[in-house]
Amino acid sequence: MEEPATLRTVLATLPLLRAIADTGGVSAAADELGLPQSTVSRGIARLEHHLDTSLLERDGRGVRLTPAGHELATTARRTLEHVTETITHIRADTARRNNTVSVVFQNSLGRAVIPALVKALVTERPGTRVNLRQGGRAYCITEFTAGAADLVLVAPPMDPQPNTATASLYTEHLILAVPRTHPYATRKSLRLNELHNQPTLGLAPAYGLRDITDSLLSQAGVRITYAFEGEDVQTVRGLVAAGLGLAILPPEGNTPDLTEIPIDDPHATRELAASWRPADTTRPALAALTTILGSDPSWLPGPAH
């Protein structure tokens, strides 16, 4: 194995030998490298000393490579080309990482909040790539905690964790979705205890909205058995519109088959929050995203802001 000092000398002078091989002379190599001729000559002399062999020999008024010089110059050229390719790859990968952000979010946010957030980000920082994944609240938190996402959007907010920042985006009042043909459809508001004996629909367990719904009903002293369970809000809204039951949901507006009724309970709300790791905001794309999340919420869609 070469001594470290010898190896450092060889590596440091490879560009000098490669330039001499390419240009055909010490002076021309010095011009190409932007170095004094004496620096190139001393570098080659040190290299010959460490290798204990001649790399150049006089050829009239110039020099030419010895067989050992040719061999080492060929290796130097391949090595420097490989280093250049590696540097290019690293720079491209760094640029890609700096320009990419991954977000994991609850299914119910995919209809309006996520499109609005992505639009605000690419408007602020054109060319940013956004990788999106969605699922239930438990899945989202697991993905973020495992480092598989840069930012998580969930409701309610995830519990505080070390080295994690959280920003509350908004709190919205939940509504009771009922079929247009239901007797409740003409009501101006409803109390939760009026859900006794009503067929009730909801999201499956482990979804954030299901946890909120169960807690609200428990506090109101209402015991129910879910008639159907879905894995996203739109599915549950469809089941309501089909006349299969009632559901506590985020507001989206009335449809021909579904009416939204305000719930007469100040606790019938859900808070949406974003969490990220501040240490990761050295990456420009994530820094831009977190700046948007902490700014004027005018980017939020409709009733959310």
213: buried, middle or exposed (CB in 10 Å: 19+, 13-18, 0-12)?
buried
Segments making up each domain of the chain, as ranges: 4-96, 100-157+276-304, 175-267
Task: Round to whole Å and give the CA distance between 77 and 83.
Answer: 10
**160-185 per-position pLDDT tens digit:** 999 999 999 999 999 999 999 999 99
CATH fold, domain 4-96, is Arc Repressor Mutant, subunit A (1.10.10)
pLDDT greater than 70 at residue 305: no
Average pLDDT over residues 2-19: 77
pLDDT tens per residue across span 23-69? 888 899 899 999 999 998 898 988 888 888 998 888 777 788 899 98
Residue 17, H or E segment = helix 4-23
The pair of three-digit structure tokens given for residue 289, joined into one six-digit string: 């995203």
pLDDT-derived band of residue 302, with 50, 70 and 90 as boundaries?
low
d(CA 115, CA 112): 6
Q: CA-to-CA distance for 218 and 189, rounded, in angstroms?
A: 19
pLDDT band at 244 (very low <50, low <70, confident <90, very high): very high
Split at pLDDT 50, 70, 90, the class of 1 is very low
For 100-157+276-304, CATH number out of 3.40.50.720, 3.40.50.2300, 3.90.950.20, 3.40.190.10 equals: 3.40.190.10
Residue 12, pLDDT score: 81
93: helix, strand or coil: helix
Same fold, 100-157+276-304 and 175-267: yes
CA atoms 65, 70, 74, 80: torsion sign: negative
CA 203, CA 207: separation in Å to the nearest integer?
Answer: 6
Closest by CA position to 133, among listed 123, 122, 142, 121 = 142
| pLDDT tens digits for range 79-116 | 888 888 888 788 777 667 778 999 999 988 888 899 99
Q: Where are the alpha helices (DSSP H) in 179-264?
A: 208-219, 233-241
**From the candidate CATH numbers 3.90.1150.10, 3.90.1150.110, 3.40.50.300, 3.40.190.10, the one assigned to the domain spanning 175-267:** 3.40.190.10
Residue 286 confidence (pLDDT) above 90: yes
pTM: 0.69
* Segment 123-135 mean pLDDT: 93
Element (H, E) at 23: helix 4-23
